[in-house]
Homo-oligomer: A and B are copies of this chain.
């Protein structure tokens, strides 16, 4: 088996303003992100040979992307894989390009959650279907928080402060992202005093619910230079899916998520990364909750097991740190329109590797990572992707 390394390039990307987009429906958001990506790639819509649409609860087929961008009778696949939907749509598009089937492909992710009231997650499901666990996301991830504090003998106040520092970092980065949903700094004290959602997770430990869309235009790496000089290369793509809810597993530890580890193993292997902490210049990861980001640091090999709190205290993951994480504000502040999130993460890495991230630019960014996580502990869909600037 070959990996995906250096077979596929991103030549254009677009991303809408995330947030409460009362001015736009899902189609409008696809138009906004899609046209920005098309323009950025220097192509026209009619040049697009195939599409992939990632959507969790807004759209069910490939048709809305055809309608939004007036794409006439091209193939469009719709992918859904819980909150990892966007990256998995991107992954499937990459394989079709790498196989030589298409030269110019669009991948778009979108979600319109704010006016669904129930954020799309509670759409009633017919009998015989899969169902979300009765315990909602904050409580599921809260179990990881209390267990993490217990496992590594971290006093509650210290653990809360570590998590608060992650929220403060992401809120700060959000102020540097004009398209982010929340662009407001918060203090450690504000985070610690915020209402409790699911012990030990308070309001600022939880990401928001947003509307938004993002899109990418990809092509074969060997023809990418025909479109632009500063294209970005796909270096590795890992996806891992778990088969059983952690709550139903006697030995599930809740302090690491094996899907993250497996997805990273695959992506690092494809990208020839031996020491992610040293080799990766920035990462945009799935901080649905602050505890998730803390565990991700360890699952992806950025911090040794049980040591991520120390790295947080040392500022390792801030914009000025050794390995900046969630440079755009993350799910916490950029927002989390489910199907769009994975592609929004790639958008940030793309801009960073092109040196176009303005106030939040990471110096000498050459290798970037995205991590996108869907589902619940024990039955996650975890995706890790690595991207590189052109040599």
Contact = CB atoms under 8 A, between A and B. Distances in A.
Interface of A: 1-4, 7, 25-26, 49, 51, 56-67, 70-82, 88, 91-92, 95-96, 98-103, 112-113, 115-118, 120, 123-130, 211, 238-244, 258-259, 262-263, 266, 374-375, 379, 381
A73 B242 contact: yes
A78 B81 contact: yes
A81 B73 contact: no
Closest 6 CB pairs of A and B: A116-B126, A112-B128, A75-B239, A66-B243, A98-B99, A2-B100
Identical copies in the complex: 2
A277 to B, nearest CB: 23
A33 to B, nearest CB: 15
Contacts of A129: 26, 57-60, 112, 116, 120
A86 to B, nearest CB: 12
Given A63-B375, A241-B66, A124 B123 contact: yes
Contacts of A124: 123-124
B101 A3 contact: yes
Nearest to A211: B128
A22 to B, nearest CB: 10
Given A3-B101, A61-B82, 18 more contacts: A1-B100, A4-B101, A26-B129, A59-B129, A60-B130, A61-B130, A61-B241, A63-B242, A63-B375, A63-B381, A72-B243, A74-B241, A75-B91, A78-B80, A116-B126, A116-B128, A116-B129, A128-B211
A50 to B, nearest CB: 8
A88 B199 CA distance: 43
Contacts of A243: 63, 66-67, 70-72
A262 B224 CA distance: 27
A192 to B, nearest CB: 34
Nearest to A77: B88
A258 B73 contact: yes
B128 A115 contact: yes
A6 B82 CA distance: 33
A266 B101 CA distance: 11
Contacts of A379: 63, 66-67
B126 A117 contact: yes
A240 B62 CA distance: 10
Given A63-B241, A73-B258, A78-B81, A101 B95 contact: yes
B62 A381 contact: yes
A7 B241 CA distance: 27
Given A3-B101, A77-B239, A120 B126 contact: yes
Nearest to A125: B123
Contacts of A115: 126-128
7 contacts: A60-B130, A61-B80, A75-B266, A77-B81, A77-B88, A78-B81, A95-B95
